[in-house]
Structure 1
Amino acid sequence: MQKILLLVVSTLFLLSGCLPNFGSQDEVVQEDNNNNNNNEERAIVPKFQISEDYYRTLTPFKPSGARGQITSNMSSRFDSDEFEEGLLRISQKTFSTDKYIFQEGQYLERETISEWIKALNPTIADPGSEASIEDRKEARQQAPRYLAHILEHNFLIQEDDKVKLAGISIGLALNSVDYFRIEGNNFETPISDSTIEKEGKRIAEELIHLLRGVEGLEEVPVTIGLFKQQPRTSIIPGSYFAYATVKSGGKSLEWNNVNEKYVLFPSNDATNYNRDDAERFSRFKEDVSMYYPNHNGVVGRGLYINDELQKISIDIDFQFYGKTEVIGFTQYIAGLVVEAFPDYVIVEINVKSVAGQEALILKKPDMKEPFVHIY
């Protein structure tokens, strides 16, 4: 028992020893969205970064005018989380983390996003006041809702004692299934990948013209990412499949493909996609079962970028009868992580029970030992 606690504490001290100096920062003036010097605000720019994978952010935090809207417009929490995180990865292709400062979108308000989503989706033909449910269903199927949500990220640049907007990224969440309801009846229309790509690019072309009409966005560089949502029943998130860059003041889009994919472990899809990774997960699952046979499940979600596994998030559901069981089991799993997956893969394991999350295990490529936290 004492050795287990020492292991966790020593890991925490190791991490805390690597933390940056939070006193290292610059006080700056942030220009107003509409370039009105009378409304300039003071802000703090931290000089530290957790890693080159993350942007620095201004203090105090300024929420987007559309904050919270993403959860109501997206199919699932899996999709909404990856929609945001994936856009940050896309943004790094244009706005490097060592030069630019991140801020939530400050130009597109909730009402604007709602209006644009409506305008950018096809108009449903009016079947008439006497139309049957079937006629109304057919009218909707002829004009499915392709666009689910618009996400804005801002990127600032520091010049002396001022920060100003230097570019924006826009994420377009596209439906793979259009769900709709008519007089208490639920319907759904699957949308093919080719149609998603065609309509996504059409929407992006129209969107850039709308953006250029927003005060403050007339000249800034823009990156637009196309994200395909999964069906509501999926337990893995969707992914970005294309992005475009628009030069300062321009309206023409230059498209690039994005090779990202989420895979569920265990599944036939995982085996067909990469047999070696699928077998690694199977061996890990078997090792878990050897310690504690009465588990409810071990499920993994793997992110592949350019056909290489970058990250795997694993949920382990167990029935525990005491804290000592949680501690012992967590230590066992932490030992497995080091041997089960390649060093270049980020591994996140969430140990859960009916009472909620019991422990977190995290192993990153630059860590010799995993970080362990028991709740």
Structure 2
Amino acid sequence: MKKFKAAATLVVLVAVLAGCGKLNFSSDASSTTTGGSGTSTSKYQTTGSVNSDMYQGVIQNGSYKTSSARGLTIDTNTQGSNTYNIKSMESGLQSISMQHFSTSKYSLEEGQLLSTATAKSWLMRKAATTKSTALVSEGPDGLNPSQYQNGEKGAVIANFQTAKPEYLATILEQDYMQASGKSMKLGGISIALGMNEYYYYQKKQYGATYSTKISQTDLEKYGKQMAATVVKRIRKMSGVSSTTPIVVALYKNADQDSLVGGTFFASTTSESGNSLNSWKSINEKNQVLPVVENEKAVNSTVSNDFSNFSDAIENFFPTLAGVTAQTHYESGQLTGMNITINTQFYGLTEIESFTQYVATTAQKDLPSGAKIEIQIQSTGGIQAFVARESGEKAFYTHVFGSY
């Protein structure tokens, strides 16, 4: 591996269907940025980039500009509370955006268009007036289906939680900026709509939690309808012109207990006005290895290779606490694997020896071609890191020391 990839912190706006369907939000205001040899103007500069596959961040007036809606995080144990969904949505939307906004011409800024209030209002159920109860949050700008028989008010639909589940759980905005003289201008926008494959709800406050599975057909149908509405609303916002490109991608959240995030399944672009280009299907799959509960492996060869790797290092170092992997496939081909090895090592010499053995075993047993990251950790934290970029053969290793 040629270098580490720093992770950009992006805002993710999450609607929590809190057991009973009410939206709950909690705040986490911490943020980090990285510096580098970026470009600079009188007001703006960029962070610089260590990799051509990464966007430079935007710094305004000497400070990293966080989103005006920053701080919305998941507060309850619903499908959206799977933190892997947040991470995979952010990185996946960047990958989709790279097809439209080159890393050499655009810099990435946290979403500035959607305020906290706007995000909350869009993630509600549709209703004539804004109201929040123990079971439902609703308002006139809500993108999720109304619970009422006549659309926005009146009698409540019987079993509305299953008849009209809340499809939309998350909205993520990324802004792509271009240099313009001594300033920067908005060059493009990417929006991810995180859809619920499973909707969790309660029939009464403090009651039992139920779930209903939403079909792929419904996810696509309602996701595309919501995308059209979102584009219309964004076009009306200050700073967005009629020709600002807007990319919209639909993301299916993984279940709340999943050890891997969800996947994108469709995307489109609005190049001007409110019109959308033809939707493009995205064929992605994520899977945790080893497979459990008689689950069929997405790719049996990859699964067998991982088993060989896992067996080899567990036999050599029998005190390991476990080896698992997240795998990512695009159009059936493995494109990434993140392996976590939990150890009970505490001596530096043992960690160094183990890290070298992991690297040589990985090169011998794991699939070639794909990007692979291996994190070696104990209860005390990360001990070592082994990685390889896609297309490379040799693995890079680093053991974390202490003074």
Structure 1 length-normalised TM:
0.83
Aligned to 2:279, the other structure's residue is in SS state: strand
Q: How many pairs were matched up?
A: 337
Identify which of 251, 271, 275 aligns with 2:275.
251
Q: 1:326 offset after TM fit, Å? A: 2.3
Aligned to 2:147, the other structure's residue is in SS state: coil
Q: 1:364 offset after TM fit, Å? A: 1.6
Distance 1:194 1:15, change over 3 A: closer
1:191 partner letter: I
Which structure is higher in helix share?
1
Distance 1:224 1:280, change over 3 A: same
**Cα distance between partner residues in 2 of 1:364 and 1:282:** 21
**Cα distance between partner residues in 1 of 2:395 and 2:342:** 23
**What CA RMSD, in Å, does the superposition of the two structures yield over aligned residues?**
2.5
**Cα distance between partner residues in 2 of 1:70 and 1:198:** 27
**Cα distance between partner residues in 2 of 1:207 and 1:318:** 46
Which residue is 2:28 aligned to? none
2:164 partner letter: A
Aligned to 1:149, the other structure's residue is in SS state: strand
**Alpha-carbon deviations, 1:311-348, whole Å to 9, x = none?**
10011122235333322222211222222234421111
Q: Structure 2 unaligned runs (5+)?
A: 5-34, 125-141, 150-155
Which residue is 1:45 aligned to? 46
Residue 331 of structure 1 pairs with residue 356 of structure 2? yes
Distance 1:23 1:349, change over 3 A: closer
2:51 partner letter: S
Which residue is 2:205 aligned to? 183
Q: 1:291 offset after TM fit, Å? A: 1.1
| Bigger relative CO (Cα 8 Å, ≥ 6 apart) | 2
**Cα distance between partner residues in 2 of 1:15 and 1:232:** 33
Task: Note if contact 2:110-2:174 (Cα within 8 Å) is conserved in structure 1.
Answer: yes
Task: Note if contact 1:177-1:190 (Cα within 8 Å) is conserved in structure 2.
Answer: yes
Which residue is 1:113 aligned to? 119
Aligned to 1:168, the other structure's residue is in SS state: strand
1:247 partner letter: E
Which residue is 1:33 aligned to? none
Q: Structure 1 unaligned runs (5+)?
A: 1-10, 17-21, 30-41, 127-134
Percent identical? 29
Residue 224 of structure 1 pairs with residue 248 of structure 2? yes
Task: Note if contact 1:75-1:231 (Cα within 8 Å) is conserved in structure 2.
Answer: no
Identify which of 235, 239, 249 aligns with 2:263.
239
Distance 1:52 1:259, change over 3 A: farther
Q: Which entry has the higher C-alpha Rg, 1 or 2? A: 1
Aligned to 1:295, the other structure's residue is in SS state: coil
Identify which of 23, 39, 60 aligns with 1:26.
39
Residue 275 of structure 1 pairs with residue 300 of structure 2? yes
Which residue is 1:309 aligned to? 334
**Alpha-carbon deviations, 1:167-202, whole Å to 9, x = none?**
100010101111123221212111111111111111
Aligned to 1:87, the other structure's residue is in SS state: helix
Which residue is 1:76 aligned to? 82
Aligned to 2:314, the other structure's residue is in SS state: helix
Q: 1:114 offset after TM fit, Å? A: 0.6
Identify which of 354, 359, 368 aligns with 2:394.
368
Superposition map of 1:85-104 within 5 A? 85-104=91-110
Which residue is 2:131 aligned to? none
**Cα distance between partner residues in 2 of 1:15 and 1:92:** 20
